Amino acid sequence: MPPRKSNKPKTSVPTMKGIIDGAGEVVQQKIATTIEENYMPYAMSVILSRAIPEIDGFKPSHRKLLYTMYKMGLLSGSRTKSANIVGQTMRLNPHGDSAIYDTMVRLSRGYEALLHPYVDSKGNFGKFYSRDMAWAASRYTEAKLDVICNELFRDIDKDTVDFVDNYDNTMKEPTLLPATYPSVLVNANTGIAVGMASSICSFNLKEICDTTIALIKDSKHNISETLPAPDFSGGGQIVYDKKTFDDIYETGKGSFKMRSRYSYDKTANCIDITDIPQSTTGEAIIEKIIDLVKTGKLKEISDVRDETGLDGLKLTIDLKRGTDPDKLMLKLYKMTPLEDSYSCNFNILVGGVPKVMGIREILQEWIAFRTECVRRRTVFELNKKKDKLHLLKGLQAILTDIDKAIKIIRETQEENEVIPNLMIGFGIDEIQAEYVAEIKLRHLNREYILKRTEEIQALEKDIAELESIVADNRKIRKIIIKELTEVGKKYGQPRKSMLIYADEIKYAEDTEEEIPDYPVNIFFTREGYFKKITPQSLRMSGEQKLKEGDSIRFSAETTNSAELLFFTDKAQVYKAKLNDFKETKASVFGDYVPAKLSMDDDERALFVVLTKDYKGTMLFAFENGKVAKIPLSAYETKTNRKKLTGAYSDKSPLADIVCIENDCEIVVTSNSGRVLLFHTGMLTEKSSRTTIGVNVLTLKKNQRLVKAEIYVDGRFTRPDRYRTKNIPAMGMTLSASDKAEQLSLL
């Protein structure tokens, strides 16, 4: 029965089957309609009103918080409880107190995430470089606006930006803040919206101001001359590559590497990490180092601890005797987040539209925005002065004949006729007449008259200057340059992040630890157990201990520097270094390979290949009679990958695996007892690991290939009986003598 439609149009809740209306009835609706009516408005809200910053450098949550603090008088007053600020912000930002307080924490001086914090904080505000250091509750901390916020709110009351109603239409809030410097690039800002994200790194304030000034003067200015690289509050080292940063500056996208800064304490034989990349935390670094020590990949470290205190971040690494601290740090840079990448995605809302821009375009958009702010401020001041001049012109007309004005007022019978009579008597408008009528009697003296007359002249001069500014963009840009120069001098500070040039730094590849090389014997069983035994231990041992029903499939003599490839029944190969396996004895089962290498559930190791140079050839014999010939080099990778999928074809069940150094003769056997001896030179080698192979053994119905092995001289009395010059071939059944020989071997 089709679902009955509800007659009551109520709010709907999306489900897997349809829409549940307010009456609890399911109403079918197309998914495209549901997305358009429910999901798209949400997505647009996240993009425009939550996650992406605008050209003033702020997201709505930041702007609402700072404007609330400004209206509370916290720009110049004393600090107040954070809880008070959070409560007041709710009038503009309809969120819970926790979300608003989290926003304030991240803007605070105490949190240390911003180069130029906007909130002057007192109390425990946590630290950006610590994941576990929680900030105190809002009732315990205090805050006010930092002094640099003077530049954010300068002239905000002079119509520099638009104001809109808040969510309940009880008060107004600015759509943007009229910042006098490009704050969008001075403090780091990240956000994840729906289908897009933004990640803006921070730059040095003085360098940004100088770059903006240079662009105003010359739109073709080479940005890298005045803005070499980003700058972060946490310091650290930026791996500088000019091409990388030129691409980021041009496209607004890309990534660069950052390194931690450290010092070596010779007395205590320890390394002190004082600066870390902006994208990680001290806890993450320590956890990674501990994990590497436990797995034996870092043997030079005896202890690592967090000694962060009032002096700032400090991670201490105690070294074992004889360890070279510089070589160890190169290894740590490679293996831990002490070196990390910072991804840039300069996605900014411009006119309500998200746009990914390079540095030049961002600064040009900011210059256009700031030009409009200065023009609006100038127009506002111009109108104020014109209004005042208009009043003074009316006053001037009255002051030319004060006696006449007094006479008009005295002879007027009713109060409401005073204004019309003054308008008629002196030819002034109502606004001027109101202003004149309110003048106190004590001001009707010569001094007052002279001062007002002089003020008219000054106003006329100011109005002419303001009108010339409004009409000339060059004058507006001179004002912007002057303001940027002042901001750079007043708030500028030296770079915190050092630059190290990419072509001069060392990498851990140059200092990789040498694997100790010594003779070993290896054993691999059919059940998947693996043993590495030294020759001395093997000589002193008795029989190999195996599980009941298990047997040794592969054994060899090699050295500890060899590599192992374990092929499994899921057409996968797991790569490992022999050094990763601990030495053991014959009297133990050994390492269970699926568990050791974290194989998939129910996955079994079938075969192991031993190699040092990836020379040789793999033969995969399938039950359908085909054999694939693949060079061992096909499994060699430039990166240290542990697992390769598609190790061989899965089109037919695998019967056997053989590894050969050079072409030789191979014996294949079917379940019917037929045997075929052929030379591997007949097979075409394929570079693709998933090749289905060449048909070797011709099979009848219900027959299958079951075994493949290297032919050993003397195995057959008459090998030519089974040898073939052409493939595929059916093979021959074993002769009586070969059967007897096989039985004697068993």
Amino acid symbol at 542: G
Total domains, the chain: 5
> Over the stretch 484-514, which tens digit does the pLDDT of each residue have?
999 999 999 999 999 998 877 877 554 445 5
| End-to-end CA gap in the chain | 72
- What H or E segment, with its residue span, contains residue 592? strand 591-592
The answer to whether residue 596 sits within a structural domain is: yes
The CATH number covering residue 418 comes to 1.10.268.10
From the list 268, 334, 274, 343, the residue with the least C-alpha distance to 309 is: 274
> Over the stretch 516-564, which tens digit does the pLDDT of each residue have?
678 899 999 999 999 999 888 888 887 888 888 889 988 989 988 889 9
Q: Do residue 607 and residue 617 come from a single domain?
A: no
Q: With contact defined as beta carbons under 8 Å apart, do 27 and 19 qualify? A: yes
Q: Do residue 742 and residue 633 come from a single domain?
A: yes
Q: Do residue 729 and residue 645 come from a single domain?
A: yes
The answer to whether residue 707 sits within a structural domain is: yes
Torsion of the alpha carbons at 154, 160, 166 and 172, rounded to the nearest 10:
80
Task: Give the span between the Cα atoms of 580 and 453, in whole angstroms.
Answer: 95
Q: Do residue 626 and residue 739 come from a single domain?
A: yes
Per-residue pLDDT, averaged over 442-471, amounts to 84
Residues known to be catalytic: 140
Per-residue pLDDT, averaged over 626-642, amounts to 88
> Over the stretch 391-410, which tens digit does the pLDDT of each residue have?
888 888 877 777 888 888 88
Q: With contact defined as beta carbons under 8 Å apart, do 708 and 667 qualify? A: yes
Task: Give the span between the Cα atoms of 320 and 104, in whole angstroms.
Answer: 44
Domain boundary among 165, 195, 228: 165
pLDDT band at residue 11, thresholds of 50, 70 and 90? very low
Angle at which helices 418-426 and 359-399 cross, to 10°: 90
Instruction: Say what percent of the chain tops pLDDT 70.
Output: 94
The answer to whether residue 505 sits within a structural domain is: no
Q: Do residue 476 and residue 392 come from a single domain?
A: yes
Torsion of the alpha carbons at 192, 195, 201 and 206, rounded to the nearest 10:
-100
The answer to whether residue 549 sits within a structural domain is: yes
> Over the stretch 674-732, which tens digit does the pLDDT of each residue have?
999 999 999 999 989 999 999 999 998 889 999 999 998 888 888 888 898 889 999 88
Domain boundary among 165, 184, 209: 165
DSSP symbol at 723: B
pLDDT band at residue 22, thresholds of 50, 70 and 90? low
Question: The pTM is what?
Answer: 0.68
728's tokens: 């595929």
Q: Do residue 637 and residue 566 come from a single domain?
A: no
Q: Do residue 525 and residue 604 come from a single domain?
A: yes
Task: Give the span between the Cα atoms of 424 and 427, in whole angstroms.
Answer: 5
Residues in the chain, total: 746
Q: Do residue 159 and residue 107 come from a single domain?
A: yes
The answer to whether residue 224 sits within a structural domain is: no
Q: With contact defined as beta carbons under 8 Å apart, do 460 and 396 qualify? A: no
From the list 9, 48, 13, 10, the residue with the least C-alpha distance to 34 is: 13
The CATH number covering residue 288 comes to 3.30.1360.40
CA distances 667 to 206, 390, 670, 710, Å, are 78, 112, 10, 6
pLDDT band at residue 641, thresholds of 50, 70 and 90? confident
> Over the stretch 70-91, which tens digit does the pLDDT of each residue have?
999 999 889 999 999 999 999 9
From the list 230, 196, 197, 193, the residue with the least C-alpha distance to 211 is: 230
173 Cβ partners below 8 Å, 6+ apart? 63, 64, 67, 92, 163, 164, 165, 166
Q: Do residue 538 and residue 446 come from a single domain?
A: no
pLDDT value at position 509?
54
Q: Do residue 123 and residue 86 come from a single domain?
A: yes
Domain boundary among 570, 588, 611: 611
The CATH number covering residue 85 comes to 3.90.199.10
Q: Do residue 523 and residue 637 come from a single domain?
A: no
CA distances 694 to 404, 408, 644, Å, are 122, 121, 23
The answer to whether residue 172 sits within a structural domain is: no
Q: Do residue 520 and residue 582 come from a single domain?
A: yes
The answer to whether residue 173 sits within a structural domain is: no
Task: Give the span between the Cα atoms of 53 and 191, in whole angstroms.
Answer: 8
The answer to whether residue 302 sits within a structural domain is: yes
**Residue span of the structural domain in which 139 resides:** 52-165
Q: With contact defined as beta carbons under 8 Å apart, do 376 and 159 qualify? A: yes
